[in-house]
Each structure stands twice: as C-alpha cells, then as structure tokens.
Chains A and B, each alone.
Chain A
Amino acid sequence: MNPVNYLYLAALLFTIGATGVLIRRNAIVVFMCVELMLNACNLAFVAFSRMHGNLDGQIIAFFTMVVAAAEVVVGLAIIVSLFRSRHSASVDDASLMKL
C-alpha cells in the first residue's frame, strides 16, 4: 500500500486532535487530544521512515512515546491537583486571572 495514504491519515488525526483541543472544555479531554496529536506525529514519522528507507523516523517514534509518557505524568499530576481543589476539571472555570 502506498505509504502516502498513511500521511493523509496522520494529518487527519492531527487535525482531529487540534480541533479537540480547541473545542473541548474538560482538561482531561483536551489533554487526550494533545496525545492524539502526538500519535499522529508518530504515524507520520513511521510513514516517512518507510518512504525514505532509513530508520531515523522509527527511532524518533520511540522517543516521542517516552516524551508523551513523561508528559502524562506531569500533566495528570497538575490536572488532578486542580480538580481536587476546585471539584471541576473544566478549563472554562479556571478563570481567576482575567485582564
């Protein structure tokens, strides 16, 4: 199968993720959409790796997974601490600081 199709899929997933970040209001869901964007990047890396016939892209996919895992650790810690003090994970409620 032509690897270019996987690139279209990657771009589509990335767009879905970016749209989700912009329109969803729950911090956890927003964060999951960011993870979807990172996974779309991984798919693009692997597809490009296949096209060029070198392994760089596949190696990077591993690094991205590790980075995404580290981001989950930090992100969930922050979101959970916000949720515990406000009983809400909505990003709209977090508006103490306005102009």
Chain B
Amino acid sequence: MSATAVHSLWTTAADPISKIDAPKIEYGQLAPTLIIVGAAVLGVLVEAFVPRKSRYYAQMFVAVVALAAAFAAVVALAADGYGTTKAGIAAMGAVAVDGPALFLQGTILLTALVGLFTFAERRLDPEAHGNRVDSFVAQAASVPGSDSEKKAVRAGFTTTEVFPLLLFAVAGMLVFPAANDLLTLFVALEVLSLPLYLLCALARRKRLMSQEAAVKYFLLGAFASAFTLFGIALLYGYSGSMSYSTIAQVVDGTVQDVDPALADTMGNDALLLVGAALLVMGLLFKVGAVPFHMWTPDVYQGAPTPVTGFMAAATKVAAFGALLRILYVVLPGLRWDWRPVMWAVAIVTMLAGAIVAITQTDIKRLLAYSSIAHAGFILAGVIATTPSGISSVLFYLAAYSFVTIGAFAVVTLVRDAGGEATHLSKWAGLGRRSPLVAAVFAVFLLAFAGIPLTSGFAGKFAVFKAAAEGGAAPLVVVGVISSAIAAFFYIRVIVLMFFSEPRPEGPTVAVPSPLTMTAIGVGVAVTVVLGVAPQYFLELAGDAGVFVR
C-alpha cells in the first residue's frame, strides 16, 4: 500500500471545506437569561470556594443582585420598544423577544425575588445548637434520624445550594415562554424541572414526606417530558423543521418550497395530530390541568413550603406562557381540532379542582387543589384565541403568582412543635390569637375566590370576558359555577379562623424576619393594587399581547 493512499484518509480534496458559520447571538436581547445563568454558575463557585459561615450571605447577595439586574434588563428591553413597537428573534431563531415573553419574564423574576426572600428566612425554626436555620435540611445526603444528620445539625450546616438551584430553575423558566423552536422548549423544560425536583427533596422537617414528594414529582415529570419529546419528534417528522414559524407554515399549508419528503409527511395528519396532542399534554402536566394533575397535591404538600410557593407561582407562569405560544404561534391552523379538547380539559379542571378541594383537611393540599381550579380558569382565557385572550391570561398569571407566593409565605408562619401546622383543624381560632396574620391570609383567600377589589376578581373578569368574546360562553358559565364552589371552601377557612374558638394546644404564629414580612407585604400590596386599580396593568398586558412569528 502506498503512503499517499493512507495519507488520503485524513486529507481532503483541493476544494475548500465549507466552514460552519459562527452563530450570531444577540447578547443584549438575551441579557435577562444570561445574567441569571451566569449568577447560577457563580453560585456554584461560591459553594465550592467560600467558607461555610459566609456562604449564606454571599449566595443571597449574588441571587438578589442577579434577579434585580435581570429584571432591570427586561424593563430596559421593554422601554426600548421590544414587545410593543418591535419584536426580535434572537440566537438564530431559538428565542423570541416579544411582548408576552418580556411580560412573563418580568413576572417570573419578581416572583422569584419574592420567593427568594422566603427561601432565606431563618427566624421561624428555633435555633439548632445556637445556629439559625432555614426551611432546608442541614445535609441532604444524611439519612433522616441518623447520627450523620444529628452531626450535621450540630455542626450548623445549611443547604445554601438552594440559591443556585433556584437561579437555574428561574433560567429555565425565563427561556420556557420565550422558546421559539421545539428544541429550546424541551431544554428549557428540563432546565426548569430538574432543580425543582431537587428542591422538593430538601425539607428540614418531615423529610420522609419531602423525599417522597420529590420521587413522585421526578418520576411523573420525567414521564411527562418523555411524552413531550415524542410529540416534538412527531411534529419534526411532520414538518421537517424545529422552528415554530416553519411548523406553523406547514400546518397552514402556506410553506414555500416543498421537497418530496416533506410533501410525503405533510399529507400524514396522524403525525401532526398525535404530535401536537403529546406536546400539549406535556405542557398541561406542567400547569397541573386535569387529567394530568395527580402530582400536584402530593408535591405541594411534601415540598418545603417556600419551594411550594415559588413552584406554584413561577412554574405556572412559565408553563402557561409556553402553552400560549405553542397554541397561538405553532398550532393556530389546527385550532378547530384543539379547541374542543381544551374545552373539555378546562371544564374538567375547573370543576374537579373546586370540588375535590372541599374535602381537603390540609391547608397545603387545599391550596394545591385551588391551584388546579385556577389552571382551569386560565385555560378558559387560553381557549379564547383572540388578542384579549392573550392579554387576559398574562394579567391573570401576574395577579395569581403574587397571591400564591404570599399565601404560602403565611403558611410558613403558623407553627407548632412539629414545624408547620398545616392541618386545617389547627388553624381554628387563628384570627383571635393573631388577627393580623389571619387578616392577611383572608385577603389572599378572598383574592383566590375572586372577590371584587382584589386582583383575583380583576383577573377572573378579564379571562371570562375574553372567553365569552371568543365564543366560549358555556365555559364562562361553568367557570362561574366552579368559582362559586371554590368560594365556599375559601370562605370556610376564613370562618374557621375568625369564628371558632382557638384550641388550647393550638399552634403559635412565629414572628418572621423582615424577609418574609417583605414577601407577604409585596403579596398583599400587589393583590390590593391590581384589585383596586387594575387599569394600568391591564393596558400593560394588552400592549404586550402580541406574539412574534
């Protein structure tokens, strides 16, 4: 064999190699996400290099600065006209920078900032061996009740990893509603889910329950994302592309150049219908709509309460953002097929959430079922398929997320010897013992119920109006009926707190640090302001309600 023949194995012909062009990245438009990812990586480095005593403060500093800076970047982009007068598609078509994306990113960042304050709270649990402790386990790897756990508690360990985990989850949530191709959507889904699975397992008290919640959330979440991925595969097979706009064109039949392979798969409606159904199913799992809601009560109950509040608020915002974009940008050509299905899902979700909540005896499970019912109300706005449908859903999400995070922050305050006293019977007479906390919780419950002068009423009115205008009047009737059912159990909790005798061995209300006070205060303020003067925010959501394509 000659030398030249061997040589030709790793040399090439005289023609120049076609070089891959470096992708063009619009760093300015992606700034909010990049700041959060950078800070999360920095948080991991803090874990590795900063001494244990000062980690908590360092992590808090990094996280607060990053969330504030990212929010400032979102505001700067919006002030620059993104979302209202212009819209961008950044990172080679992977991420959309438009009104709904910026509005939801702003909401997620503010929610995460408030959630961070509840994560950092260290005055509720009694001091362990002279160390202030938060809601998170001393050392996640130690077996509950073992010597190594006691040793970790005695040494004053705390799981400061929760801060970078929170930031990673936020990064995924920022990309999720802005994803403009299916691959970005899937990666964002995983980036937001994986840190949340871990956070669920990290409760300081009731660790077995917390680990159980994490396993359930993880297995069901992974199961759902496998379905999402298969849906993505089928949609890719149908259209030969991952980009939202190309798939939308193929669905509409307005695509320009059709090669024989595409002509073949385009004719196959089974690929499109099954693919779309599996993809939407994965998103409905994330928003907690019936029949994909089974994980919600267990995970909400078992997870550490600050995590539950953050997860309930921010995940819902991100997942509804992604669902809106899929249904309004990718599948508008299919709306005569998906609308009847979503009608059914919305009706079942509203009714099942409200009815099952009545039987609950645990406050966290009660709030979980209430979140299922709220997912149904938001779906009614999604089904409208009108511009006002988008803006009403945006407004509802912003209003709902602050109420939720505030309500769960109040739940962390009511404690007895075993930690948080979440059983409803223990809340009896709370209004006599600590009127202020009970009154604040009553405000949140009234907002959940949709009583006028709270943000819940403004949000519900907006989505039901949009649904009625979008031709879904029967849905509005069902929505109002299930609101009435839901109001029953919210009012029942208020009656329980104010009009029954406090038990002698009942729980005490812990005095929190300014962190939780801020979280609850922001929740109340947003609830009242959005309820009394919603006009400015409704207009803001209305201006932001146009998707880029």
Q: Interface of A with B (CB < 8 Å)?
A: 7, 10, 14, 17-18, 21, 27, 30-31, 34, 37-38, 40-41, 44-45, 47-48, 51-54, 56-57, 59-60, 63-64, 67, 70-71, 74-75, 77-79, 81-82, 84-86, 91, 94-97, 99
Contact = CB atoms under 8 A, between A and B. Distances in A.
B201 interface: yes
Given A81-B140, A99-B359, A44 B237 contact: yes
26 contacts: A10-B233, A14-B230, A21-B223, A31-B222, A34-B219, A41-B232, A44-B233, A48-B237, A51-B237, A52-B261, A52-B262, A54-B241, A63-B187, A71-B194, A74-B194, A74-B198, A74-B218, A81-B140, A81-B211, A82-B211, A85-B145, A86-B208, A91-B219, A96-B212, A99-B359, A99-B360
B204 to A, nearest CB: 14
Contacts of B187: 63, 67
Nearest to A37: B226
B190 interface: yes
B425 interface: no
A34 B201 CA distance: 20
- Interface size class of chain B, counting residues whose CB lies under 8 Å from the partner chain: 35 or more
B183 interface: yes
Contacts of A18: 223, 226-227
B349 to A, nearest CB: 18
Given A17-B226, A78-B198, 9 more contacts: A38-B226, A51-B265, A54-B240, A57-B233, A60-B236, A77-B198, A94-B216, A97-B302, A99-B360
B229 to A, nearest CB: 4
B242 A60 contact: yes
B230 A40 contact: yes
A40 to B, nearest CB: 7
A7 to B, nearest CB: 7
A91 B211 CA distance: 12
B147 interface: no
Given A38-B226, A38-B229, A63 B237 contact: no
Interface of B: 140-141, 143-145, 183, 186-187, 190, 194, 197-198, 201, 207-209, 211-216, 218-219, 222-223, 226-227, 229-230, 232-234, 236-237, 240-242, 259, 261-262, 264-265, 297-298, 301-302, 359-360
B26 to A, nearest CB: 21
Closest 10 CB pairs of A and B: A37-B226, A48-B237, A52-B240, A44-B233, A41-B229, A94-B212, A34-B222, A82-B211, A97-B298, A74-B194
Nearest to B360: A99
